[in-house]
Each structure stands twice: as structure tokens, then as C-alpha cells.
Chain A
């Protein structure tokens, strides 16, 4: 009797092409992703329905939370130049190494007199240091000078006007926000962005 040989089909498919595509996409996403760094002053931004994205550069962020204001500028060279201008104004000296470190730092919230201690810390310790916020009262308005000098530095280096974003905590009382807006308006900065979270469509 002739045995009929069943042609057994192999169940395994060739995964090579799929693997290629998957890793190509993975590489793409890893390269385009920006690492999320823990903020020195964690704030819970209120939600809104607007979809405008913040610009990637030429941006200064003022983080307002718990009555404190933290300051951050995008771009390493703009940061270094801002620090140089501030150092001239307040007569606080920073070494080249300090400037280099400051260029890589995230947002900070200390008076310029104690900025050097923050620069010397490890990145992990900076967030735990309990920074008191940048002075913003009328006697010692360092925040206004930081904004002003960052704008000057940005125009010098990037030849573009610096955009200002206010990142406020949802529970922050209005007078604190108003104080920051007033400081901006004193410099004739009348247009700025409010950083908000994304509100889901179902909440409409």
C-alpha cells in the first residue's frame, strides 16, 4: 500500500523582516524622544482644551508653585550667556566650570548669591535641596533681571525674541500668578503662554 505522505507545513513564520521594521521604528522613537527629567519644583498644571504645543527653543519657563518661582531657559549657550550677564549685574563670580555646569542644569529657584552651591551639587541632590525660589519682591527683584537678561542673551545668540511660558500649579492663588504677570508686563512682555495639561474630550 502506498502511504500518502502529508506535507507538514511549518507553523513558524519568518520573523526577520518584522524584526527589522520593529527595531527601525524603535530606533526612530528612541532618537526623537526627549528624556523626561524630574522637575525641581513639581507642579500640577491645570487642564485645558487648547492643543497648541510649546516651542522647543527660544523659551523661558517660569514655574510657579507654593509661592515660589523657578526659572528655566532652553538652550545651553543662552543659559551660559544669561548667567554671565547676571553675574556682571550682581557682582557674583562664576568660574568657567560653573558656567558649563549651569548650561546643563534644569530649572532652579535660588537667589543668585547661593546659586553656586546649587551648581556644585549633584543633579539628584538639587531637587532635594529645598530651593527657596527666586526673589521677586520690589526690593530684590532678581526674577525680573533673570527674565530681562535671558531675553538679551537670546536675542544676541539666537536672534529671536524669547518666548515666556508660565507653568503654574493649579492650586496656586491668583495673586502669585498676577505678581509674575506684572513683572513680565513691566518689561513690556504682554504676550506669553500658560502651560496646561491636556483635558480629555469626554470631560467637555
Chain B
């Protein structure tokens, strides 16, 4: 009379207590979602945050100028890149006084410097082959002016790698004529860009 029956399926037979079987399965969908989200995050951040680098080798600096060994190179093979302000470069091949390619102003990038570099590379290769020395490729002399910035330098070095210039050097000395060429032109906007 005073008993409190909690189990409803008991039916009063012998007092067997049936514990209800709990479902042991947990829904893992949300957990898997979260795990994959984190995996994606870590994958993207780890691979992208590693810095890239380009290695640059410079020639030995001679302390005594008289020790310098003058090395003559064929002026037909040397392309000089003068890096100026406002992301403009001037290029010429040969000596400035008697250029094989007259100085011209180009911009950085695919349509500017790279096109000219590829053309000049072919021209030099044709010249060397005609002379019977097809292994002598183009020599590029990079002259960064004080007004050029670091991005320009990296861009030019990158072009060297893309175009596949066999020999290039960074030279810091400007001859007066070269300085004049870089300074002398009017504002870059007035220069017609071929």
C-alpha cells in the first residue's frame, strides 16, 4: 500500500529491477567538425608562415683599389640596368657612349623589364653564337641608385632568376654620364613608354 512503484514495466513479478540500457553512442559529428576546422587552420598557417628567401652572392670587396684586376669583357654582352626613382629603370647594352641598344626607360614587371631582358638575352646569344662561342651569355650589371628602394632590387634580382641570366653583378659606382642619364630626363610621366 505504501510502496512507491517507480518502474512501470515491472508488472509486480518477483521485484526484478530492470535498469534501462543507456545508449552508449555519443554524437561525434560536432567534435569531428571542430577537429577538422582546427586542422585546416594549422595546416594553412604553418605552411604559409615560413619565410622565403633568395640567396645573393656578392664578389669579394677589395680593400686596396690598386689590387683590382681589370677584367675586360666584351661590351656587346653587357646590359646595364640603372635603377632610378619612381619604379623606373633605364637599360642599355654596350658602352653608354656607343650603345648597342640605345638607353630606354622601362618599367618593372612582366611587360617591361622582362620582355627587354629576354630580347637582349637572345640578341647576345645570337652574337656569341656568330662568334663561335655560344656558351657566353649575357652579363647584366645592376646599378641601384640612391633613390631606388629595396623592392626594386628584389624585383630585378627576381627577374634575373626568371629570365635565367647566367651572370649578373650589383655595382654601386655610377659614372657621371650614367648619373646624368638617370637624372637628366624629365618626369617619368613625360617619357613615352614603348
Which residues of B are found within 8 Å of A198, using beta-carbon distances? 48, 52
With beta carbons under 8 angstroms apart, the residue of B55, B144, B161 that contacts A174 is B144
Q: Is B58 an interface residue (CB 8 A)?
A: yes
Chain B: residues with Cβ within 8 Å of the partner, total of 47
Which residues in chain B, 26-59, are within 8 Å of chain A measured between CB atoms? 27-29, 31-32, 35-36, 38-39, 42-43, 45-46, 48-59
Q: In the complex the two chains form, what is the Cα distance from A204 to B59 in whole Å?
A: 30
| A19: B residues at CB distance < 8 A | 28, 31-32, 35
A195-B51 contact given A48-B157, A174-B150, A190-B60, CB 8 Å threshold: yes
Say yes or no: A33 contacts B45, CB within 8 Å. yes
A36 contacts which chain B residues (CB < 8 A)? 45, 49
Known: A12-B27, A50-B161. A45 touches B153 (CB 8 A): no
Give the CA-CA distance A168 to B53 in the complex, in Å.
Answer: 11
Which residues of the partner chain B approach A12 to less than 8 Å between Cβ atoms?
25, 27, 29
Assess A191 versus B52: contact at CB under 8 Å? Given A19-B28, A33-B42, A48-B158: no
Among A30, A32, A53, A175, point to the contact of B52 (Cβ < 8 A): A53
Q: How many residues of A contact B (CB 8 A)?
A: 55
Chain A nearest CB, measured from B18 CB (Å): 24
Per-residue interface assignment for chain A, residues 158 to 172, with 1 indicating a CB less than 8 Å from any chain B CB and 0 otherwise: 000000010111111
- Is B56 a contact partner of A196 (Cβ separation < 8 A)? no
A-contacting residues of B (Cβ < 8 Å)?
Answer: 25, 27-29, 31-32, 35-36, 38-39, 42-43, 45-46, 48-61, 83, 110, 144-155, 157-158, 161-162, 172
